[in-house]
Structure 1
Amino acid sequence: MSNNIKLSIEILPVELFHYILDNLDIETIIFSVRHVCRLFRSFVNSYSRYILNLTSISKSNLYLLCRLINPHNIISLTLSNEERTSNQIDLFISLVRLRQFTRLHSITLIDINEYQLNFILKRINLKLLTSFSFNIKRYDDRRIKTTNSFLTSIISQSNFRKMEFNLTTDRLWKTSWPFNCSIEYLIVNEDITMDNLIKILQCSPHLYKIILKQKFSKIINNISQISTLPICFRQLTSLTIEKLDMNTDALESFLLLTPSLVYLKLIGGQHMFDGKRWEQFIEINLPKLEKFEFYFDYWDPVKKTLTDLELIIASFRTPFWIEHKKWFVTCACDIKRSTIVYLYSMPICKSFLTYEIELQKNSLSTYSNIIDNHQFIQNDVNYLSLILSKALADYIQDKEATTNQLLFPKVTKVSIEFYEEWPLLSLQSLSIFINISQIVHMTLRSYYFSEYNQNVFIGIRNFIEQAQNLSSLIIQTGLYRYKLNLAIDNIHSIIPNHVKHLGIPINTIEQIQMILDRCNQLTTIKFDVRLTKFSEEIIKWFTDNTIDSTCSKGYKMVCVWIGTKKTQSTEISVDHKRMKFC
């Protein structure tokens, strides 16, 4: 390579720079990259693949983004009226001209009111949409025909591929689903009947993937009729049922309609522990199945022993499971304290996991070479719940010397519950489970904060400070006024100054300003309050001391999407003339 070749950012092709921007969020692009230099500014200005997700944005940044970004360059838009960003959709509509969003391929609308849905869909180009996700928070029966017309128009487009929705059963039934619909991927959050599901499948020859998030019992109706239906949906190759609450017979009747499944995932609380029955059904009715993931937890009134667990796991130790499919299974039960039996494929297919030590002690697996079951669960869990009990402390002390890798390396959300006897060891010891520096969301929960000394809170604060990427912190106490008074200063002392979203108890109005001064990057704050009158005082404080804050009141809480702080004018009037201090 010639020494004369000059490696410089100035010769970087704009296409390569835009590819880099594809991997950054929009706030980083606009508020950081854009200000590096003139060249970067020009690259950013010519970028045309913005993904605008406003679910956790500050109000001030929302105003700036709406002013700085050309709507023609946005290809994906996510708006939310959720608790954090109450009434965001109306605000966004007031700040932009929706007709200028001419290149939108994907839209996600969370907790939207039906009139807002109609307003938006009327003003954008539906023909370009490939993905549409929405859930309606408030329906308006006067708009039924209009909503149905828009939905029919969207799903009738030849390039439409993915849809996620929660829509009442009667609304869904009235929606005209076109024949030969091009949709490939469907996520249903609630309120779909078997009749509606069959109608969609019959009209969608390319629909290969479905995720059902509602209770399965609400989908299945007239199960005896389903088993005799002369229909079969061979286009479906991937199926996920996240709330399985029907027996094996009902599930099998449903699965008979989907003989081409390659992937099947089941999560639920039913007794489906017969490995031999699963083996026979799959061999006969699901011959193409390559990946089978499940997580079953079943309450049995009869107390279990390790012998009982061995009988369950034995049916999953056949050549079909271990040699042919290589599907490995674990059966576990907290024999001392519970009769709930857990049966799950490995790695665990749930993103959220409550880590229970007794389950680890009383578990059996079909994989004989397992040294530590964590090698199967570590990569799929991104939200971990830990209960800081003596059993956990003993386990950590036993494992610290022998564990040389993280047990859950992909966790970004953690919930930690403190028991009365804590501290039993340093919170730094939790680093055998998680990479603390990559935690984005943290929940701390305890009924005993009022009983801890200051050293405990110093340890908690030091632990939180290691979470350099933490953006959301929720502290839950459950304490009533007297005990909360004893602990409130210590609780507030652990709040890091870089957090953007905060959930915190308070008991005086003066604490609001103290928290805002401490956390100057706060976007939203949720106050845990016990009295309705105090809720009104909090709302009044933000009305009096901030501009354009949005407050929403719920059960024992007030959530605030923070606007800008009011500042005292530096101008005074002298002899009817203005004098400004520099």
Structure 2
Amino acid sequence: MSTSTFDSLPVEILHRIFDHLDVQTIIFSIRYVCKQLYLITDSYNRYNFNFKSIAKPLFRIICRLVPFENVIALTLSDEDKTRGQIELFLSLYNIEQFARLESLTLLEIDYDYLKSFLKYIVNSSVKSLSISVPPIHTSQKATPQLLSSVVIHHTLKNLYMSIGEKEWHQISWSTNWKLRYLRLVNSITFKQFCLVLDNYRGLRTLVLKEINSNCSEDNWCFSPFKQLTSLTFENGRIDINQINQCLSFTPSLTYLKIVGDGNLFNSSFDGYQWENLLQTRLVHIEKFEFFFVILTYSNYRSRNTELLMQSFHTRFWLEKLKCSIMCDYIANSRKITLYTLPICKTNFVYDIDSKKSSISNVGASFNSTDMDNVQRLELQLTKDVNKLAIDENASSNVFLFRNVTSLILGNDGEWPERSLRFLSNTLDFSRLIKLSLSINFLPKQTPDTVANIERLLKQAPNLRSFLLLDYWGPDNFMTRMETICSMISPNIKHLQIRVKNLDDIKYILEHLKHLTSVTFEYAQMLQIDSKEIMKSLSCLNRSISSWNHQQALHIWLQNNPANL
């Protein structure tokens, strides 16, 4: 009986498989297996260049090996892991060479460089565009005009923008019938909301932060916009009156999602009021998801949450929308979290509070899939961990959060004795890619703290980014860089850490040669000239791209590919 091999598959099938692989896997794991696969990877013309967290030498190698006309998606990033990448890209390559590009993502791009890409986009066939700009940067005068040309580009179907408020308000909105998806990180006024829908008559999905009231706006008159079927408000203040106004102009919505915060003093989170709003404004609604963080008053009692949840026990919630709703009251923080299940956001703050009470409108606990959307988990390790009921015999394959890849962990005192067992039951450490620790290194507890961090890191074999922060600054700072270096395993490629002087920086770079990027935060008001550090580090024989910003130095390192 003959045995089929991977390279004997038809080229069309292999190319379909490549569609689901990252470019590093195709180039470095498949290309050089045999001559046949070499030729097949050479003929592949749907490459996705995602350089969001790539090492500098691999970035150069990939750009050299793959013809740009074979690339249909490109992601460039000036985030912490790859500071200076966009400037390097523009200095080495011409964006005009990407003749078949359909998707372009530019992360944390400076306006000075954005201008070059905007000129390319208006003459391209790009269908999907994502732009995020650092909030501290100011644009050139020409940028709003170029952005105005881009948002009406005839091939554009999906657009994501996170730009400055000034630039946002200077954009001129004109008709674009092709755009189907629009996501805006900015807050907008109600008039701008209507202008967007008036000009984008083909728009089906709109995601925005919030609607701001603007009393100075002129009077205007719009008819309802029936093209929009999905509307999301995320990470803003919840104002039911503003939302009511928006919904009065979007009667065709079948999906509505609201994620934000408010308080019991000036906002209503009563189920009866939301039911009346949805039944009045959205007769076609099929799904409503929400996540509300609500600040309470000082004499609020858990009994009040029971009264609140009674308003979500009607036939509308249970039968028509089939909403499973959970309400958590966290007494120590004086807040309520009210949300639908499965959870509708990717980041979640898990409050550890022995006085926390939870109640559901369906009387059931969490299902195994309810938290599957959560990718970024934040929690504070307090002494209450030792008071929690932890099943010591729980299966190692059953987790509350199964898909978390980023964990933010805080601890401002003694490390709780049962914390590691609690964490092991809560999330799957094998999926963890990024770990952020906000730690108070008190002198008496430093050995125990270091030991617990080491145990934590050993449980996360796929960890790539490690952020080690210190609550209390230099007075209680763990100055022994050798102790820190001893904790950093070779699988970690990005490190963020506080330093007190140039010697700390040099020590890290000299002893952790497997790192591809580092962010050094300055303790107190330490100022380091980037030119001085580049000169000082030249003896390390490591090519460095640095970017000095406020109280941090970001370094993108050129390593030997064998160390990656």
TM-score by length of 2: 0.89
Cα deviation, 1:12-36, whole Å, max 9, x if unaligned, reads: 1111111222222112222222222
Matched, 1:478 2:471: yes
CA distance in 1, matches of 2:527, 2:217: 55
Aligned to 2:551, which of 536, 556, 560?
Answer: 556
Q: Structure 1 residues 563, 254: CA separation in 2 closer, same or farther (over 3 Å shift)?
A: same
**SS of match in other structure, 2:288:** strand
Q: Structure 1 residues 224, 247: CA separation in 2 closer, same or farther (over 3 Å shift)?
A: farther
Equivalent in the alignment of 1:575: none
Aligned to 2:42, which of 45, 58, 70?
Answer: 45
Note if contact 1:26-1:51 (Cα within 8 Å) is conserved in structure 2: yes
Equivalent in the alignment of 2:359: 364
- Give how far 1:174 is off: 5.4
Q: Structure 1 residues 264, 223: CA separation in 2 closer, same or farther (over 3 Å shift)?
A: farther
- Give how far 1:530 is off: 1.9
- Give how far 1:512 is off: 4.1
CA distance in 2, matches of 1:489, 1:246: 48
Q: Structure 1 residues 145, 59: CA separation in 2 closer, same or farther (over 3 Å shift)?
A: same
CA distance in 2, matches of 1:481, 1:144: 42
Aligned to 2:179, which of 177, 180, 183?
Answer: 183
Q: Pairwise mapping of residues 174-253 of structure 1 onto structure 2 (< 5 A)?
A: 175-190=171-186, 192-213=188-209, 216-218=210-212, 220-222=213-215, 229-253=221-245
Higher relative contact order (CA 8 A, sep 6+): 2
Cα deviation, 1:224-283, whole Å, max 9, x if unaligned, reads: 999x94421111111110134243222211211111111111112223321111112212
CA distance in 2, matches of 1:116, 1:8: 46
Equivalent in the alignment of 1:281: 277
Q: Which amino acid is the alignment partner of residue 348 of structure 1?
A: I
Number of aligned residue pairs: give it. 551
Q: Pairwise mapping of residues 159-558 of structure 1 onto structure 2 (< 5 A)?
A: 159-167=155-163, 171-172=167-168, 175-190=171-186, 192-213=188-209, 216-218=210-212, 220-222=213-215, 229-270=221-262, 271-335=267-331, 337-358=332-353, 361-368=356-363, 370=364, 372-373=365-366, 375=368, 377-395=370-388, 398-401=390-393, 405-425=398-418, 427-448=420-441, 450-454=443-447, 456-485=449-478, 488-507=481-500, 509-516=502-509, 518-530=511-523, 535-536=528-529, 538-546=533-541, 548-558=543-553
- Structure having the higher Rg: 1
- Give how far 1:298 is off: 1.8
Stretches of structure 2 that go unaligned for 5 or more consecutive residues are none
Matched, 1:130 2:122: no
Note if contact 2:194-2:222 (Cα within 8 Å) is conserved in structure 1: no
- Give how far 1:459 is off: 3.7
Q: Which amino acid is the alignment partner of residue 460 of structure 1?
A: I
Equivalent in the alignment of 1:572: none
**SS of match in other structure, 2:87:** helix
Range moving further from structure 2, 16-25 or 484-493? 484-493
Range moving further from structure 2, 484-493 or 264-273? 484-493
Note if contact 1:504-1:526 (Cα within 8 Å) is conserved in structure 2: yes
Q: Which amino acid is the alignment partner of residue 560 of structure 1?
A: I
**SS of match in other structure, 1:356:** coil
Q: Structure 1 residues 341, 96: CA separation in 2 closer, same or farther (over 3 Å shift)?
A: same
Q: Structure 1 residues 124, 317: CA separation in 2 closer, same or farther (over 3 Å shift)?
A: closer
Range moving further from structure 2, 59-68 or 536-545? 536-545
Stretches of structure 1 that go unaligned for 5 or more consecutive residues are 566-582
- Give how far 1:187 is off: 0.5
What RMSD over aligned residues (CA atoms) do the two structures have, in Å? 2.8
Equivalent in the alignment of 2:86: 89
Cα deviation, 1:211-232, whole Å, max 9, x if unaligned, reads: 103xx243x4349999x94421
- Give how far 1:66 is off: 1.8
Q: Which amino acid is the alignment partner of residue 248 of structure 1?
A: I
CA distance in 1, matches of 2:249, 2:17: 44
Equivalent in the alignment of 2:111: 114
CA distance in 2, matches of 1:254, 1:229: 13
Q: Which amino acid is the alignment partner of residue 162 of structure 1?
A: N
CA distance in 2, matches of 1:163, 1:554: 28
Note if contact 1:488-1:506 (Cα within 8 Å) is conserved in structure 2: no
Q: Structure 1 residues 217, 161: CA separation in 2 closer, same or farther (over 3 Å shift)?
A: closer
Cα deviation, 1:481-500, whole Å, max 9, x if unaligned, reads: 35325665433322112211
Q: Structure 1 residues 172, 513: CA separation in 2 closer, same or farther (over 3 Å shift)?
A: closer
**SS of match in other structure, 2:108:** strand
Note if contact 1:165-1:189 (Cα within 8 Å) is conserved in structure 2: yes
